[in-house]
Structure 1
């Protein structure tokens, strides 16, 4: 009879993780060891650990979520991928409490800090009870994103003019990303989740552009361009917060502290000198991400204005 320890090392890792899943030690949404952690835990080469995780992925035991890690897959029946999960409020107040607790954890420590166990601890409830409200971390992340977009409140009366309206929509998103720096990573341009609140925002934006005489496809591309500019710039918010925590320096302080190094790399002397008081100011190197956002937004809208003007000329 073949002894268990005669199996290839990667299969022993596969069998152990499967056992933990079957015994309930690992639940849907829980992280499994990374390649490096698995290699250290089982005393194998990194390639062997990677082969074990790949085998588990092929069998559907685990799933890799970008920037989250490899987690236990939801083995319960799922709705089709095209169907979004129900809004956080659809599951009642308890489900909304779960989502709000996860958002609070992410606001404080980023998405890496969010786990089913962590949310359960914050709510002082058993981890397994969370699965009555969400199917795992993947669905929880989607609900967090939709709830965050639900905080974006548009005024009943929008300002006159397409440009002022797009500026308003862009700035409201910017402020929302500022409250939730983890949110941009959960929004995809190429694989968007049909989140009710996000879809509602897009509908309002397309309404703003409806009277400009653009083709429907052009109007949609214009809105995607604006929304993705905001999201792309907002990716820096989370990195800025992490860098400030790691270095103890604000963006301004970092730029000013490294000015000699930057200037040494530009013998031409084209790098502007800092203001006399050593802080932000005209000609200084201090960096303000919101100022950068506003500058880029103006350039983006200037380009859209050219497109709108050209479209109107073509109609006459």
Structure 2
């Protein structure tokens, strides 16, 4: 499968084992180091395999155990995203193909290793042949960001959905897009918005959620951008977590266990009564997903108080 990134090939093979029951709920999946050794790939690629499976909700990290299959049997493997042919005819090379390859490379290795030369090499063409399709890397990055939002469009709210349900659906769609493409939130700007049509569709949907409360347009825009900014602010941590796992070979849970003695020594010195009490809890489940959900809930709780009594029905338009 030369047109599919290597990490996706390996991840899809593991998805098949999970969906077919050959890897049952609770069973260990290969570690990143084992994947790297067995498939002859870099540890970064192997780590991306596990991140891809976690993004789909197929596996989870269990402290002291490793990465195991979650209790969701029968999940079908995710279909591979269409990719550009390895050596396209230059007369047929399209902008969409350049963007697709660039996105796949960024998914695998982040933006730091992305260059026009590397994209051209993946496509099997000369670097200069890319420029009639994209004017340069800056334009390419904006097109990649637009492709992320196109992949995760605003969900259709259920009939009669109120403003909060609409905003939650939009926020979680954006969060899912950033989880799949951890490099994307770093490209987003809250104060200098880029020309990203599919992202503008999200903004329009957020504005519709806040419409009807008697808010002026400036206030509506601030409400919409506040939600988008919250999601983006949480999501900027996704890439650093991926990179940290790649660099150390440790999941967040494994890293915490390895560094816990150092934290315990500081706490034992005194002056941290609440941290001491929290440390005595058997286990506190806290990861980026739980932090995102908690913060989103409290943000919308505040919006609910703010919007209360502004004269719109509970179900909205």
TM-score (norm 2): 0.64
How far 1:194 moved relative to its partner? 2.4
In structure 2, C-alpha distance between the alignment counterparts of 1:219 and 1:297, rounded to whole Å: 18
In structure 1, C-alpha distance between the alignment counterparts of 2:154 and 2:279, rounded to whole Å: 41
Could you give the per-residue CA deviations for residues 22-48 of structure 1, whole angstroms, max 9, x where no partner exists?
xxxxxxxxxxxxxxxxxxxxxxxxxxx
Structure 1 match to 2:299 = 300
8 Å contact from structure 1 (residues 184, 234) kept in 2: yes
Alignment of 1:66-105 (within 5 A): 94-105=94-105
What RMSD in Å do the two structures reach over aligned CA positions?
Answer: 2.1
How far 1:157 moved relative to its partner? 4.2
Could you give the per-residue CA deviations for residues 95-148 of structure 1, whole angstroms, max 9, x where no partner exists?
100000000000000111110000001111111111111111111111111111
How far 1:213 moved relative to its partner? 2.6
Structure 1 match to 2:126 = 126
In structure 2, C-alpha distance between the alignment counterparts of 1:245 and 1:146, rounded to whole Å: 27
How far 1:311 moved relative to its partner? 3.9
The structure with higher relative contact order (CA 8 Å, sep 6+) is 2
How far 1:274 moved relative to its partner? 6.3
In structure 2, C-alpha distance between the alignment counterparts of 1:144 and 1:218, rounded to whole Å: 30
Could you give the per-residue CA deviations for residues 245-266 of structure 1, whole angstroms, max 9, x where no partner exists?
1111111222232222223323
Structure 2: runs of 5 or more not aligned: 1-90, 313-317
8 Å contact from structure 2 (residues 157, 166) kept in 1: no
Rg larger for: 1
Q: Provide the secondary structure at the position in 2 that maps to 1:255.
A: helix
8 Å contact from structure 1 (residues 256, 274) kept in 2: no
Structure 1: runs of 5 or more not aligned: 1-90
In structure 1, C-alpha distance between the alignment counterparts of 2:288 and 2:157, rounded to whole Å: 29
How far 1:232 moved relative to its partner? 0.6
In structure 2, C-alpha distance between the alignment counterparts of 1:158 and 1:193, rounded to whole Å: 30
Could you give the per-residue CA deviations for residues 227-285 of structure 1, whole angstroms, max 9, x where no partner exists?
00000110000000000111111112222322222233232343223665xxxx4xx3x
In structure 2, C-alpha distance between the alignment counterparts of 1:233 and 1:112, rounded to whole Å: 21
Alignment of 1:1-316 (within 5 A): 94-158=94-158, 160-266=161-267, 267=270, 268-271=272-275, 272-273=278-279, 276=282, 281=283, 284=284, 287-309=286-308, 311-312=310-311
CA separation of 1:93 and 1:125: change in aligned 2, threshold 3 A: closer
In structure 2, C-alpha distance between the alignment counterparts of 1:250 and 1:274, rounded to whole Å: 22
Could you give the per-residue CA deviations for residues 277-307 of structure 1, whole angstroms, max 9, x where no partner exists?
xxxx4xx3x5311000000101110111111
In structure 2, C-alpha distance between the alignment counterparts of 1:151 and 1:124, rounded to whole Å: 26
CA separation of 1:311 and 1:262: change in aligned 2, threshold 3 A: farther
CA separation of 1:127 and 1:93: change in aligned 2, threshold 3 A: closer
CA separation of 1:158 and 1:214: change in aligned 2, threshold 3 A: farther
Number of residue-to-residue matches in the alignment: 216
TM-score (norm 1): 0.64
Q: Provide the secondary structure at the position in 2 that maps to 1:111.
A: coil
Q: Provide the secondary structure at the position in 2 that maps to 1:145.
A: helix
8 Å contact from structure 1 (residues 252, 287) kept in 2: no
